[in-house]
Structure formats: structure tokens, C-alpha cells
Amino acid sequence: MGRQGRGRLAVLERLPPWVQLRCGVEPKTLAALAVVLLVAVGFAVHHFWSGRPQPVRPPKVSAGSPTSDEAPEPSASGGKRVTVEVTGDVEDPGIQRLPPGSRVTDALKAAGGLTSGADTKGLNQARRLVDGEQISVGDKPPAPAAAGAAPPGSAPSDPSGASTGGAGVAQSRISLSSASAQQLEQLPGVGPVLAQHIIEFRTEHAGFASIEQLKEVSGIGEARFAELESLVIP
């Protein structure tokens, strides 16, 4: 038996018995079986290769688009703007409209800044603005009346007790519709909280039409109104 015959016999002996019975020992049969086996092996390799785990790649970020760490901050310009009046020692006094949350220092900058030698003593530049208020720079509040002197707005009397008439009025009263919080706090019994209530009331009612409206402000009763009546004007 030649070498070729021995090779065929060796291959045939390694095949399952049912293959040996059905296929016999014909070379064509062996070649067809080999082709089938190669196809099966190729299919198995392809299936294994395509089913292997694939690495996950992060998405590409296009130029100019913000990442999660660079998300844009929300705009602070939303909401109703605050309208105030800036008077006194500023370069451009008048009405200023500012974003909500602005402070006194922002209003001063909007008014062109302070003039040379402006007196800011007693002016809290870090305070938040209230819509409709007036900010006066360098305007000094009226000095309190000395002991025994006639209250502001009343006619002084001579030593005999007789009144000299309306021509003797020397001191001006504080305007409830335009005075700043600092000016209102100079009134007797009026602190920062009550001054803020007065400003909120005049903002809601577009000013004071009469002094009697002062009674409607939260925190002002009959006794307090009696103290303030002669010191203020609408």
C-alpha cells in the first residue's frame, strides 16, 4: 500500500462510524467532508469574533460646545428692574433703572459716580435697593430742635407767648414721598425697619397724598402719628 493509500486509511479511521458507512472511502467524499468542516470552522471563528466585547468610546465634544463642567450660568438679568432716584453730590443725578438685586453703590455708579468731596457719611452703599426710593448723597437731614425751641413748621412766639405768625417758619419738614431712608430715620421713633415700611407704602401707593395716610403704615399708631404730624409733609 502506497503512502497515499495509507493517508486515506488514517483519515478514514478517525471519522465517526456513521460517516465511514455513508461516505465510504471515495476521495471526492473525503474532499467534500473536508470542505464542510472548513466552512463550519470558519463560521464558528466569525461568530466568535463578531460577538466579542467592544470598548465603549466617549462621545466627541464639538469645538465651542460647553461641557458639563462649563455649563453657562443662569442670567441674572431676569425679573423686574428697580427704579430709584439719585440726588445730591453725583455727576448725573436723576432717575436710574437697575437690575433686581442692585445695591446703593450700583445706583451711584449709574449716576456717574460721586463728585469731588462728596460726603457719604451715614450712607450704606452695600444696602440693597428698594424700588421707588430716593438716594440722597451729601444732603444733611434737618437738625433736631433745641430744648425749648418751637417744633419745625410751627410759628415761633415772642417772650410774652404770642405767636409771630406763619412768616416765622424757619425749618422745612421731611417729605414722605421723596425722603431717603436715612432722612426718615432722623424722625423721632423711626428706625430702619419703620423707615423701610414707609418707603414700601409710598412705592405701592405712588407716594403720599396726605399726611393722614401715614396712619396706614405698619408700625405707626395714633401716638406715633401725633409725634410725626408736625414734622413731615406728603
For the segment 100-147, what is each residue's pLDDT rounded down to a tens digit?
A: 999 999 999 999 999 988 888 878 899 999 888 889 887 654 444 444
Bridge partners (DSSP) of residue 134 are: 85
117 Cβ contact partners less than 8 Å away, ≥ 6 residues apart: 89
pTM above 0.85, yes or no: no
Confidence of residue 86 (pLDDT cuts 50, 70, 90): very high
Best CA proximity match to 26, nearest among 6, 12, 44 = 12
- Whether 83 has a pLDDT exceeding 90, the answer reads yes
Which residue type occupies 159? P
What is the domain partition of the chain in residue ranges? Answer: 82-137, 181-229
Best CA proximity match to 130, nearest among 165, 94, 83, 168 = 83
pLDDT at 61: 56
pLDDT digits (tens, 9 = 90+) for 144-161: 444 444 444 444 444 333
Average pLDDT, integer, range 187-206: 87
The larger pLDDT score, comparing residue 176 to residue 166, is at 176
The larger pLDDT score, comparing residue 34 to residue 66, is at 34
Tell me the C-alpha distance between 117 and 120, whole Å: 9
The larger pLDDT score, comparing residue 60 to residue 45, is at 45
Q: Counting beta carbons within 10 angstroms of the beta carbon of residue 123, is it exposed (0 to 12), middle (13 to 18) or buried (19 or more)?
A: buried
- Whether 94 has a pLDDT exceeding 80, the answer reads yes
Tell me the C-alpha distance between 30 and 12, whole Å: 8
pLDDT at 142: 47
Average pLDDT, integer, range 216-225: 84
